[in-house]
Amino acid sequence: MKEVVLGIDIGGTGIKFGLVDREGNIVASDKAKTKGYPNPDMLPADLLKWSNEQCSALQLKTIGVGIGTPNGNYYKGTIDFAPNLPWKGVIPLKEYFEKAFSLPVALTNDAKAAALGEMIFGAAKGMKDFIFITLGTGLGSGIVVNGNIAYGYDSLAGEVGHTIVYRNGRECPCGRRGCLEQYVSAPGIVKTYYELVRHQNLDEFRTSIGNMIDSAEVYKKAVEGDTIALEAFTKTGEILGFALSNSVCYTRPEKIFLFGGLAQAGDLLFKPTIKSFESYLLPIYKNKIPIVPSGLKESEAAILGSASLILKELN
């Protein structure tokens, strides 16, 4: 029987899960709605049932469970006060799954899981030092040092999205101002776009705010040659490049990987990011640290990342 692990990605809207073999093939997968589980302790039983069904149908044996989740704490195996999940407080999800499956279980923050996916199955194979950035509704990060995720003292390392790039910049829900993810994220580029619209044409701005576009539409406009949308990408890349030029001073990654919706804009984001990055970079690092797209498919990254977490523990 082929050995597989169960990779589970928990999001604010949906839960994705799949059985993954050691080569990174997702041999079975499915999804559920997060709000279908008002109590998280009901999730393990359902996933065990699903997993058992798949395993007997496909002649597989599950040997471990990996979980990626917002606010996941690797050391404690808990989800801690996740604002975007229906589960409040501290949820000992690792323990729930261990009881249900009687298998090794590991849980971590979703961005860290994705970074591990990049290392085990993506474009960072064999790398010992890299930075993985995921650009979505926020800016998540996983920092790999000496071949391992940097968890830090309490598992809360890797908050590159909350490094301050403008001391008196945009307000962040974290309570501070000027955090990187207020500029470099899907909502961030939309804000930049509307700042530019307002600067150029106040009347147009007043009309448009009743019917705001999202980051996908900013991208579409940029592709069509809209100068304001293009400028929004340039500014976003400029800020990201600056922030990353500081990032490399800490752990000197071999490469930096960008993942997520905004990263799929390709050259629109990468060109200004790399230009800015190189211009701000300490000379000893110049032209040595590529900023490249993730090697993971958007559709597979969440499950592969969670699976990688437990595969790495089992090896």
| Whole-angstrom distance, CA of residue 255 vs CA of residue 253 | 5
Residue 6 C-beta: closest distance to a copy of itself, Å:
26
| Whole-angstrom distance, CA of residue 129 vs CA of residue 114 | 15
Name the residue type at position 200: Q
Beta carbon nearer to a copy of itself, 176 or 206: 176
Q: Which of 136, 167, 125 is nearest to 263 (CA)?
A: 136
Q: Is 285 in the site for a copy of itself (CB under 8 A)?
A: yes
| Whole-angstrom distance, CA of residue 3 vs CA of residue 117 | 18
Beta carbon nearer to a copy of itself, 27 or 156: 156
Residue 148 C-beta: closest distance to a copy of itself, Å:
6
CB 76 within 8 A of CB 111: no
Q: Is 50 in the site for a copy of itself (CB under 8 A)?
A: no
Q: From edge to edge, which strands make up the β-sheet containing 78-80? A: 72-73, 78-80, 90-91
- Residue from the set 124, 143, 190, 258 that interacts with a copy of itself by CB under 8 A: 143
**Of the listed pieces 28-36, 48-56, 98-106, 247-255, which binds a copy of itself according to CB under 8 A?**
247-255
Residue 141 C-beta: closest distance to a copy of itself, Å:
9
Q: Is 168 in the site for a copy of itself (CB under 8 A)?
A: no
CB 18 within 8 A of CB 30: yes
Residues of this chain, 213-242, that bind a copy of itself according to CB under 8 A: 242
Q: What is residue 211's DSSP assignment?
A: G
Q: What binding mask, one character per residue, do residues 90-119 give for a copy of itself by CB under 8 A, x or -?
A: ------------------------------
Helical H segments across the chain, by residue range: 43-58, 93-101, 110-121, 186-200, 202-208, 215-223, 227-251, 267-280, 298-314
Beta carbon nearer to a copy of itself, 33 or 167: 167
- Residue from the set 90, 123, 156, 292 that interacts with a copy of itself by CB under 8 A: 156
Exposed (0-12), middle (13-18) or buried (19+): which is 145, by Cβ within 10 Å?
A: middle
- Residue from the set 49, 99, 125, 128 that interacts with a copy of itself by CB under 8 A: 128
Residue 39 C-beta: closest distance to a copy of itself, Å:
26
Residue 167 C-beta: closest distance to a copy of itself, Å:
7
**Of the listed pieces 43-51, 102-110, 206-214, 282-290, which binds a copy of itself according to CB under 8 A?**
282-290
Q: How far is CA 172 from CA 19, 136, 177, 191, 258, in A?
A: 37, 15, 6, 12, 22
- Residue from the set 151, 219, 259, 277 that interacts with a copy of itself by CB under 8 A: 151
Q: Is 251 in the site for a copy of itself (CB under 8 A)?
A: yes
CB 70 within 8 A of CB 126: no
Beta carbon nearer to a copy of itself, 51 or 109: 109
- Residue from the set 153, 168, 210, 287 that interacts with a copy of itself by CB under 8 A: 153
Q: What 3-state class would DSSP assign to 103?
A: coil
Footprint on this chain of a copy of itself (rule: CB under 8 A): 128-129, 143, 145-146, 148, 150-160, 162-164, 167, 174-176, 242, 245-247, 249-254, 280, 282-285, 288-289
